[in-house]
Amino acid sequence: MKTLPISREQAWELVKKYNTHQKDLTHYLESEAVMKELAKHLKEDEVYWGMLGLVHDVDWGITKENTENHLTKAPEILKDAGFDEEFINIVISHGYGFDVAGLKDKKRTEKIQYALAASETITGLIHAYALMRGKRISDMQSKGLKKKFKDKTFATKVNREIIKECEQLGLDLNEFFEIAIEGIKKIKDKVGLE
């Protein structure tokens, strides 16, 4: 098991120091939940993967006015909190391909990088689908989610290509959908779902 410099609760306080909008906080909790569930499924380190999900957008609240600055503040914030370079580099890799922090031309190459990118992205699709279903996630099926994945007019901002990076983890879309739904179901009360 990899060591982390701060506890989950300390990390959550750090995230809340730089982020105040409930919608953003919900996204972080869901990303954490999906990463943990994924780690469990892949027999990886649940605590480490969960931490990555929880803090991956730590500087979003202070950079979203100028999105190209997203992930420019995160390295310093995380370094000050004691996180090592390896951890920080994984966090940054979820911005590869986007016009943020000069990361547009970078490509993910590692399993844990694909995991973080796909996990934080699937949360948007699942949350939007749950809201459409009257906030219900308890009986959500991967089949229904797959339809929304294919429907390009639904949750248009959710990047389907990044979700497909789950295939780099040896999981097909249906398996990944099941794992992600399962993860978010476990924290449904904390993210306003039923």
C-alpha closest to that of 28 among 74, 66, 68, 97: 74
The smaller minimum CB distance to Fe ion, of residues 129 and 141, is found at: 129
Contacts 24+ apart (CB under 8 A), 71-78: 71/95, 71/100, 71/101, 71/103, 72/100, 72/101, 73/18, 77/14, 77/18
Longest dimension (CA), the chain: 43
The answer to whether residue 59 forms part of the interface with Fe ion (CB under 5 A) is no
Element housing 143 (H / E): helix 142-150
* Three-class SS state of 86: helix
The answer to whether residue 30 forms part of the interface with Fe ion (CB under 5 A) is no
The smaller minimum CB distance to Fe ion, of residues 60 and 149, is found at: 60
Which residues inside 119-158 make contact with Fe ion, applying CB under 5 A?
A: 120
Among the residue ranges 35-43, 55-63, 69-77, 143-151, the one whose residues contact Fe ion (CB under 5 A): 55-63
The smaller minimum CB distance to Fe ion, of residues 98 and 154, is found at: 98
The answer to whether residue 57 forms part of the interface with Fe ion (CB under 5 A) is yes
CB of 143 to Fe ion, least distance (A): 26
The smaller minimum CB distance to Fe ion, of residues 128 and 136, is found at: 128
Residues lying near Fe ion in the complex (CB under 5 A) are found at: 57, 120
